[in-house]
Amino acid sequence: MHSIDLEKAAAAAQAAADLARAEILPRFRSVAVETKDDGTPVTEADLAAERVIRRRLQQSFPEFSILGEEYGAEGQTDGPEWIIDPIDGTIAFSRGIPLFSTLIALAVDGEPVMGLIDLPALDERYVGWKGGGCRRNGKPTRVSEETDLRRAIISHGDLFCFDERGERPAFDRMAREIPMLRGYTDAFGYAQVLGGGVDAMVDMGLRIWDVAPVQILVPEAGGRCVTLSEREGKLGLVVGSPTLVDQLMEFLASR
């Protein structure tokens, strides 16, 4: 593995997230929404935020490549890579719902080693790196240790994503057997898992920029993160209390 000062990388990511907030928050509830070729929404806030994130990360680590949702890949094809989603939850953002986030991860040889989930409208930020634990606004945080699905709050992503992956039966079973099944979607849901309020989450239809920060933050917060195999370019995640993740994996047909 490349020798990287992960604490310095986390500081650079936080500085980039601060700049992104300055682009995003003034546009919240006052921005036009367009539709990209893939049918997903995009706003000027997404584009402006990714531009400032890229510039700030390049200042600290000019040799690292960058992959962002809005502007694609930049830099060398091997070595450390920044992975960026300037606004995760653009639908929420565009509808005036304050549960959107900014995601930044650093991966080495395809393995995330640092992750950040920033919730600008809620003034909450989760940051962690390999061997460094996970912190929310500077204070250590851990996932739930719940072991019983009947007592747990389990979150899920959008239902159509379960349908696309052929996992509607798994969703239906969760709806039957889990009393507190709730739809805290996007990275907001993962943040609640990191804070221990939501015990586990099952999500489908994800891209690499959606999952990379979660893949490092959840283990650093003491949880288990299972990445479901890619199908048609999309991934799935099951994250949270290790015992509950094991149980929820039994609901799924795909692995």
DSSP string, the chain: -----HHHHHHHHHHHHHHHHHHHGGGTTS--EEE-TTS-EEEHHHHHHHHHHHHHHHHH-TTSEEEETTTEEES-SSS-EEEEEEEE-HHHHHTT-S--EEEEEEEETTEEEEEEEEEGGGTEEEEEETTTEEEETTEE--------TTT-EEEE--HHHHHHHT-HHHHHHHHHH-TEEE---HHHHHHHHHTTSS-EEEEEEE-HHHHHHHHHHHHHTT-EEEEEEEETTEEEEEEESHHHHHHHHTT-S--
pTM of the predicted model as reported, rounded to 2 decimal places: 0.96
Quick one: 39 and 133 in the same domain? yes
- Please identify which residue in the block is written with the tokens 């992959």: 67
CATH of the domain at 25: 3.30.540.10
What are the tens digits of pLDDT across the range 118-156? 999 999 999 999 999 999 999 999 999 999 999 999 999
Would you say residue 1 has pLDDT above 70? Answer: no
Region 42-51: what's the mean pLDDT? 95
Quick one: 171 and 92 in the same domain? no
- The sheet with strand 81-88 has its strands ordered as 72-74, 65-68, 81-88, 101-108, 111-119, 124-129, 133-136, 139-140
Tell me if 148 is assigned to some domain. no
Quick one: 45 and 75 in the same domain? yes
Region 70-86: what's the mean pLDDT? 91
Say if CB 208 and CB 83 are below 8 A apart. Answer: yes
Residue among 197, 206, 124 nearest 154 (CA): 197
CATH of the domain at 194: 3.40.190.80
Strand 81-88 and strand 101-108: the pairing is antiparallel
Quick one: 136 and 159 in the same domain? no
Quick one: 65 and 187 in the same domain? no
Quick one: 46 and 98 in the same domain? yes
How far is it, in rounded angstroms, from Cα 177 to Cα 56? 46
Region 94-110: what's the mean pLDDT? 96
Looking at the chain, the whole-number percentage of residues with pLDDT higher than 70 is 99
How far is it, in rounded angstroms, from Cα 33 to Cα 210? 20
- State how far the alpha carbon of 35 is from the alpha carbons of 44, 204, 234, in Å: 12, 21, 19
How many domains does the structure of the chain reveal?
2
Say if CB 66 and CB 9 are below 8 A apart. Answer: no
**Domain span including residue 193:** 153-249
Confidence of residue 2 (pLDDT cuts 50, 70, 90): low
Quick one: 164 and 70 in the same domain? no
What are the tens digits of pLDDT across the range 183-229? 999 999 999 999 999 999 999 999 999 999 999 999 999 999 999 99
| Averaged pLDDT of the chain | 95
Say if CB 119 and CB 101 are below 8 A apart. Answer: yes
What are the tens digits of pLDDT across the range 27-36? 999 988 888 8
Tell me if 146 is assigned to some domain. no
Confidence of residue 255 (pLDDT cuts 50, 70, 90): low
How far is it, in rounded angstroms, from Cα 183 to Cα 203? 10
